[in-house]
Structure 1
Amino acid sequence: MKRMFTLLALVWAGSSMGADWQVTQSDSISAYVLCHQGDCPVRTAKVFDLPVAVPMPARVSDSAAKPVTMHSSTSVRFALASARLSQTEKAKLKAFLKRHRDARRFLVVGSTDQIGKKRFNETLAYKRGMAVAVFMRANGIPNRNIKVDSRCCIEHPPSTNPDARRAVISINE
């Protein structure tokens, strides 16, 4: 409040004396300097470089447009060196499948962290993907609608990298 009063007093005093204000900034600090006519810097126009607007093509509405594609995904987590789904993860996966029963294509990507030997992790990543696919088939998803892939040896541990030790199930329409 005191600053506001001081600023208003300076503005009033400057305007009554025919003075002008100069604002300077350096490193996010603003300074207001009272200057009298004749010793103030010359005012310049401020110019902003704005990108040239590119006209957008007219959108043609088509009543027979393609259906909106559905992109959704979820992930299930696994214990260290395991490809077994826990009851919690099974419930999560079952809820996901119930919401997306009409989807035609699922992509399941199993993954591992860097702990352990590369050959073991490559096999484990694939087994995690297959464990999810087997669960999906048991819950009514046709085999032809499921594609399984794997990624081995993700660099960071699961505490800093959520991709490690899990399988991601995504819908690809």
Structure 2
Amino acid sequence: MLKLRSIAKTFYKRELGNGRQTSFWFDNWSEKGVLSEVLGDRGIIDMGVAKYATVEEAVLNTRRRKRHRTSILKDMEAELSVIVSNLRSEEEDVSLWRRKSGYRKTFSTQETWLLLRVSKVYCDWSRGIWMKQATPKYAFMAWLAARDRLSTLDRIAKWSQGTVTTCVLCNLGT
């Protein structure tokens, strides 16, 4: 599960209301993504925002540095100035989950699974081979033949060098 953490992060986002429940550095609320990953530890120092501050605390912090040398930090300051006007003190922050049609407030296990899995072509011959009345030995042989995995003479010749490839019935070359 921990190995899939980076994939799971792409399915979760926060929409700002009042900014009190959203972490400034560790939640995905910005257009740029999770700020601790974008700016790193040096960004935390350069911005002058506490490591565990909420978005509301970061916006209302008057002691943080406003002028920066790098363009990404200047862009973050511009984004923060826009957020100041958009914060709504009466509304809570909302968790959003990625769906096929974009981010929504409800989570769907089915849609998440469909977005994660690799869909393959439908196998239309399987019901003809794997049926209730089939003899397992013959069903297995038919399955091998359908998958082109039978140990025919041409396939055996590829595996081992020096195999005689003449036909056993008519003694002609294949």
TM range (shorter): under 0.3
> Which structure carries more strand by proportion?
1
Max radius of gyration: which structure? 1
Task: Name which structure has the greater RCO, CA cutoff 8 Å, separation 6+.
Answer: 1
